[in-house]
Every structure is written in structure tokens, then in C-alpha cells.
A and B are shown apart, each in its own frame.
Chain A
Amino acid sequence: MIRAVIIDDERNSRDIISLMLQRYCPDIEAVAQAGNCREGIAQIREQRPQLVFLDLEMPDGTGFDVLTGAYDSTFETIFVTAFEKRYLHTIRFSEVELILKPIDRESLQQAVQAVRQRLGSPGRQERYDVLLHNFGKTTRDVHQIVIPLSGGGEFVASVENIAYVEGGTDKTLFSLSNGDLLQSRRPFRYYTELFAGMRFYQVNNHQMVQLPHIHHIDHDRLQLHLHNQSVLDITERRKRELASVWRQQA
């Protein structure tokens, strides 16, 4: 049995989570509920749960406040939120589970399944460190990212150090500024969404470069030379746009 605490300011929400857990995840036992952060931290301290269902916005704080407040406790978190835009990336960068209201069975079971797997494996602390690191940073460019490696395990990288990202068959290759190559379990499309609005530019349909890493653009050969010696191909169509975007960014 996995012991769980539900923290949400709406009774309806707490009720439905506990009801759904009863119905679809019988191995999860909701041992306690809390209506605000203060209460939540207290319940965590008291119950020592393995899993916390955490609402992001509460009257006296956010879910991050709860995490900070109960930093010394080791538990996995599933964020539950009705609609979240602001913290969505922060959470996704850290690979912490998140489900959206109204909760459907599949996402709940998926999240719980991911937590089940993680409960026995190391690397929990990195994720939450990354989460708390990213929380409070105004720009995503200085975020850290947890890359779930295809070979198992996770790697924490600074987003700044990512030179370019290259999509493969449902896996993604990360090239860092020092030349290291990493392969993520996540598909390329996941990262294009995650990095949208940042300093990344998709030079072709399977490669995305981070602009500060460009050394120069070879206009004749339609090639992009990066500081880490990598050479990317660029389509004729995107060359001009890239040049202007790059210049602007520089």
C-alpha cells in the first residue's frame, strides 16, 4: 500500500481524488486530507506519506510552498491543477508528475504508475531540487532540466548548456556545449513544445538549435556552425529568418 496525502483547498476536489483512488488505484490509500498549505505541511510531517496529491494554488500559498516547507520529507508528488500555465514548464522541466482537473482515469493511473516506479529508484532529490531551482526564476532560459535518459536514469542539465536538440524515432538527442551527447526517452515533439518561446530555433524538421550557441552561418553551403564544433544543415527557406532572429538575439 502506498500512503497518500491529498492537499487541495476545495473539498470537492479532495473528495473526487480520494474517490477515484479508491476506485482506480486501490493500492493507494489516502491517509489524510488538507485544505491549505499550513495544514498540508503538518499532515505530511504527521503521516509521512510516500505520495502527495498537491494543488498548486491555495489561499495561503502554492504547492511549492508545501514542498519547501516539507523539504526534509521524502515523498513523490503528483500535482493536481485545474488550469496551470505559469508553473507548467517549471514542473515539466523537473519531470515531476502533473494531472489536470477534471481528472480522468488514464492520467491518474499513468501518474500513479510513474510514481510507483520511482518510489524504489534513486534520483528523487535531483528532480525536486530542479523544481525548486526553477521555481522563482523569472526566465526559463536559466532553468535546469531533468533529462530522462533512454538507457535509464536521469541527467540534470542547465538549459543554457544545450547547444541543439535532434529528434530521432521517439527519442531525442541532446548536444551540450561541451560536446556531450545525451539521448532522452521523450519524443522530439515534447521538447519542441517545452522549449517554445525560448531561445531555440528549429532549423529543419528534426533539429532545434539554441541561438547563443551559433558560431556563424555559412550562407553558401546552408550550414550552421556552432561553438561546440557541430555543423547543422539549414533549409534555404529558414536561413534568412534564422539570420535575422540570431542577429536580434545577439
Chain B
Amino acid sequence: MLRQVEGSKAVADAVAACSPEVICAYPISPQTHIVEGLSALVKDGSLKNCEFINVESEFAAMSVAIGASATGARTYTATASQGLLYMVEAVYNASGLGLPIVMTVANRAIGGPINIWNDHSDSMSQRDCGWLQLYAENNQEAVDLHIQAFRIAEEMSIPVMVCMDGFILTHAYEQVDIPTREEVEAFLPPFTPRQHLDPADPVSIGAMVGPESFTEVKYLAHQRMIDSLRKVQEVADDFERHFGRKTGGQLRSYRTEGADTIVLALGSIIGTLKDVVDELQLDGHSIGLVGLTSFRPFPFHALAEALKGAKRVVILEKAFSTGTGGIVTSDVVRAIEGMGIKDFTVIAGLGGRPITIASLREYLTNAMQENVERLTFLDLETETIEKELSKERALR
């Protein structure tokens, strides 16, 4: 049933429909409404057989999740920004132990300077942590990705981050269909852990692994991550069979047929970019769009396939590696190696700066002529920058 509802509330209801047994969270903007919603559902009894733990930090949130998941409970938490960084040690531990925890990251910038608004620097900082990362384009996809995430995580024994743009999605009211618990149950079987803490069959989990085995343990994790690529697609296809919606999966192409220029992006900006592509095509430009849903695992083959025939790809990123440039770009470049496709990167929307259609049109019009630098910061106030730089250089 379609409901006009806030993104966070929709996600809370979707997570509840997945019948988690342990939810633990520490509040941080813009994640708060999700866990507030879930705490109410547990408190009023509509989410049964579930423990909601108010912890004293994000580090504890992920740690509680680790203990719960290792005991065989379906476990959920949510965070953002500084909170994600504060739990990083446990984030790596969860994937290292192969615990299928699902976590929402309500994407927000990382300080300093402190900034509560949206970009992707938080989840991108966790690129290599061994978790899957799925990015939602809109609130319907955010809802659907959470339901898919539990199934992917539990079938692969890998934790999954569902990344949704803070405020832009979490606080936006949209029409969303939230499946009922019965509908979800038909899609998502009960959690059967591969291994769990059980006095009847005691195992030691988390032993110290030395140089003689560490590489093999890490290689197996690498292989499992690669194998999960197929699972991401499989689960999205099965989701479509159950719910009639094409959401999730590895990536989705939009009007890329015969396009010379293809823009690639993640998250909610895809919606804006679809409008820009529509406008530019109306003006006779040869341009299309690829929305990347699965950043980890990275769909190298599917992306090469999606970009085949294009002359150039423009990667729009809401985060970057200081002193280097695009983060997603480095993977894209590997995917298109030897295909003769030129790559351009545009960094946009940092710390919540609005990405306007006008700015995108101007930038893309130039990019289609290859009349841009390989790395561009959209709407950069060059005058301010020049003034600051000349002052700094004078001091050196």
C-alpha cells in the first residue's frame, strides 16, 4: 500500500517488517528518526521478540550488534558520519567475523569542520572494511534495499550497509510502498547462522590468527565479497518477482543507448541527473546515465558492459580522496581499462551543498566537449580559493 511518509519512518517500518531480534543504536543526525521509529515500534509491542538497546556510543552499538549476531539473532543498527567513524574498529571486526548485520548509513559529511549535511565521505571512508555497500536512489529503493540487505547478508554471511542520503532522503516525504511483515516473510526466510554461540555445541569465535593463515582468511573474505555480486543481482531479481519492482541490483542504466557521454553516480542525485539527461537529450545531446547501486562489491563487468560504446564517462562523486581525487573513479577506471573511454570526475554536493540542474547542465555541456579538467569541483568559489591560496603561499 502506498503511503506518504518520511524516508526514515519508511525505513523503520521496512526494518520492522524484517523482524529483527536485536536493534541497537546511538543517536546521530540525520539517522535519528529511523531509530526513534524503531524504538517506538518495539515499545508499543508492534515489533515483537525484539530487544532495543540504547547504547552509550556507536562503538558500543556495533559491539552489541556483534554479540547479538554471533548468538544467532537478526541484528540491525544505524548511524552516520562521525558515528560511523567512531565504530570503525568494530565495523571491521563484524565483517572479519562474517556476521550478517544490516546497518543504515544516513550519509553525512565528516568533520572538521563539523558539518551535519549530506555527502558520501562517511561510507566512502569504509570502502575497504569488508561490508557490502548499497546506495539508495530514493526512499522506495531505501525501503527495498533494507529488505534485500537482510537476505544478501544472511545468505552470504557478510554485513551490509544500506547507504541513503542524509536529509535528502531520510527527511523527505515521498510516496512509498512498505511491504507487510507477511509479504517480507515470503521473501526473507528466518535467519539460520552458519555458526553461532551455543552452549550445546560450544565453539571459539575470534581466535588469534597468525602469519601462517591470515592471508588465507583474508583471501576467503575477498572471494566471498566477489561472490556476493551475483547474490546482489539474484536477490534483486527475486525481489522483483515478489514485489513487482526493479530496485537494488548492481547498477541501472538510464537512456544510455548510443550515448557518447555517460554520467555515473550513486544515491539520490541520480533523480536530478535523470532530469538533466532528459533535458540535454531534448536539446539533441548524446548523453545517458548509469546509477550505481552496489559500490561494494564493485560490478566491474556489468559496468564495462553498461559503458560499452561510450566515448567518455563522467563520474559524479559526493566524496573524494584528499590530494588524489575521485574514490569511485579509481574503480571505474579499472572497469573500463583498454576500452578507449575517457574518464572525468566531478566532485559535488560536499557538506550538503545543493547540486542544481543549472550547474550540472553547464558542467556536462562542457564535459561533453571534453572542455573540463579531469577533476572538477562543482560550483567552487574560485575567487575565495585564490585569495586564501595566495595568503598561504606568501607565508611559506
Are the chains A and B members of one assembly? no
Contact surface of B with A, Cβ cutoff 8 Å: none
